[in-house]
A and B are shown apart, each in its own frame.
Chain A
């Protein structure tokens, strides 16, 4: 192949969309490695500590888009200490030095400061898109920098970040000359936003297609915005408290009626039930609907609304929709591909509204369903078996029975057989979260059948080390394994250490692993990044003995590029991480 002209290789490689494929190409030979590295435009770093930023920037000098993920997934559930790390600064600094042509930065679960945002805004003249998901460490001052200095900004997408509110002026910092916005999402901001500045901004951005407001934007503003931007495709409403006898309400219905391109709706902050009627005119066109932030809307109103949405492909709701509401979804939304049912009662007052019945109904009514997140009160093996039969196309299946270790209420058996049916039937399953009462048996099934599984989340499950070993032995494509509160110990951890080199990360907390076991793992696999996060006060005593509670072990994997250097954390703030 050495005579194959590089331009042709490059042309072919350009067709490869996935990072995995391009990574594979780069390992074929030195020539192909060079072709890939110089032509790679979009770089994905799944674990910010797996490789040094400088290394990425040096390897891919023509990089236009960079995605970096920081904290482990379980950080979403407060299992990772506040100061663990995941800092954006070194990435932005390295990119500023080595890739000034950067156009897009996407960060997830990282810490980014106002200074970082300022550096970002000044370092990349062609910068077009900033997407921050579940990040923290910055304020509206940082947003002001982005607004002021990023000429030609097309996208500012803030999803569920913790943003400190330093005032509403940031939006006014978009200069009058800014007309390029295509997507603006500030739904997660807690404070006031200047509504009239927003209206003017929307008016001068003819390409705006996606706009998501926070709760401070009143309906009157929404009316004006919709009047100026009837070509919106994706809308997150602001505050949705309206008196349905008011002029505003009638204008809103008309506004929605004129938005012929609207396909996706979300927001509904503070929505009260009859407000949903304003949306009826566009329901028939909706493909995406997110009502999961509107706890005041009752089942009857939710059900009525969904009953009009027969083109829906993606639905996020709260469990107050109830099993009966899900039956309506099942009979209406034949195109449904993704369903997420969140608990409306996270503080455990004992009110739960969906059971296995709702899920079974959905599975029989929505054959295209491939992605599920379902928080429920109970589940049965029979239901899971039926679901598996009805929906063999699941790629993501996440079931969370709210009470840990809850068995099948009908048979009082563990849910091993039910989940076994799922993994047997769904050959393309890539992501799985299990819950309820589960023995080692379910892991035997997972290891045997879940060949394409890439991410597995386990909590309060299993009987012995065998469970974990079944998974590690069986799932060839496993990349991320996260385990909490399971009786897996050192024997399981150390059974097949080479496996970890094929994975991105392993998380274990409140299991039976000991410090000695972790040290042993680190000694056997020097190329792995093995860390203990200690929730205690860091005295030497607590460092030596992992307590039964809060034992956190994090194994991270370096990229497979052989000449990467090990990364050591110099962060002074990361005081509770012990790297073995």
Chain B
């Protein structure tokens, strides 16, 4: 049996708040800002920043002092924790390729790393970020792919909207969708 549990990261176990609307409101402010009264509440107070720069959507833990860890909270047996934890391998499908791959989302700290890994995995892509939307490009034929994922409710979502940890917990599978298909369904406008 393990000794004191240190939690998945410094961000999560202490006084995690739920999804108050204020906290997940999209703002243009930089993260780590003025939410002092919510200091004890972890996670997503930084909101999602859709600035024009390439952002690494780490859950913000690196910008903040480490939160106190709450050992043994919520009170869930180790056995159960381990069973739930082991479910972070997801399939990755790329439109037009015959084989799927699998990645362990827990192995990555954020979206940037995940996309880098996908790049490497499919070896031919380079990442390029348009405003608000990341894409991977196959330099051989110029096909662009938009990374999407299926969440717990079965909906297909664009990668990058939600904080990383929320994504890890809700992502069931990944699909690199051909950009042309993505444009067709009116999701983005080409520049």
Contacts and interface: CB of A to CB of B under 8 A. Distances in A.
SS class, residues of chain B in contact with chain A: loop
Given A78-B4, A300-B154, A346-B84, A459 B73 contact: yes
A69 to B, nearest CB: 15
B72 A77 contact: yes
A349 interface: yes
B188 interface: no
A350 B165 CA distance: 8
A537 B39 CA distance: 31
Interface stretch (A175-183, A329-337, A397-405, A447-455): A397-405
Given A295-B87, A348-B12, A403 B18 contact: yes
A270 to B, nearest CB: 8
Interface string B11-44: 1110111110000000000000000000001111
A78 B78 contact: yes
Interface stretch (B107-115, B127-135, B167-175, B177-185): B167-175
B172 to A, nearest CB: 7
A82 B43 contact: no
A13 interface: no
Contacts of A459: 73, 75
B83 A293 contact: yes
B7, B13, B18: residue with the most chain A Cβ atoms closer than 10 Å: B18
B81 A346 contact: yes
Contacts of A81: 3
B15, B17, B75, B172: residue with the most chain A Cβ atoms closer than 10 Å: B75
A348 B3 contact: no
A343 B16 CA distance: 13
A535 to B, nearest CB: 7
Contacts of B42: 348, 350
Contacts of B153: 298-300
A78 B8 contact: no
Contact of B169 (A351, A403, A484): A351
A299 to B, nearest CB: 7
Interface residues of B, number: 45
A342 B76 contact: yes
A344 interface: yes
Contacts, number: 130
A76 B77 contact: yes
A402 B15 CA distance: 8
SS class, residues of chain A in contact with chain B: loop
Nearest to A111: B1
A76 B81 contact: no
B15 A403 contact: yes
Contact of A134 (B2, B17, B77, B168): B77
A162 B84 contact: no
Interface in A393-421: 400, 402-405
Given A188-B79, A298-B153, A347-B169, A78 B3 contact: yes
Given A82-B2, A349-B169, A350-B166, A343 B152 contact: no
B113 to A, nearest CB: 17
B74 interface: yes
B79 A346 contact: no
B83 A320 contact: no
Contact of A404 (B12, B73, B79): B73
A302 to B, nearest CB: 11
A139 interface: no
Contact of B43 (A292, A348, A400): A348
Contacts of A342: 76, 80
A124 interface: no
A349 B166 contact: yes
A214 to B, nearest CB: 11
B166 A351 contact: yes
Contacts of A350: 16-19, 42-44, 163, 165-166
B71 A79 contact: yes
B16 to A, nearest CB: 4
Given A300-B153, A378-B18, A403-B15, 12 more contacts: A75-B1, A78-B3, A79-B4, A79-B72, A344-B84, A347-B12, A348-B11, A349-B169, A350-B163, A351-B166, A375-B76, A405-B15
9 contacts: A134-B77, A292-B80, A299-B152, A300-B154, A342-B80, A347-B13, A347-B169, A349-B166, A405-B15
The 5 A-B pairs of least Cβ separation, nearest first, read A77-B72, A348-B12, A348-B16, A349-B165, A349-B169
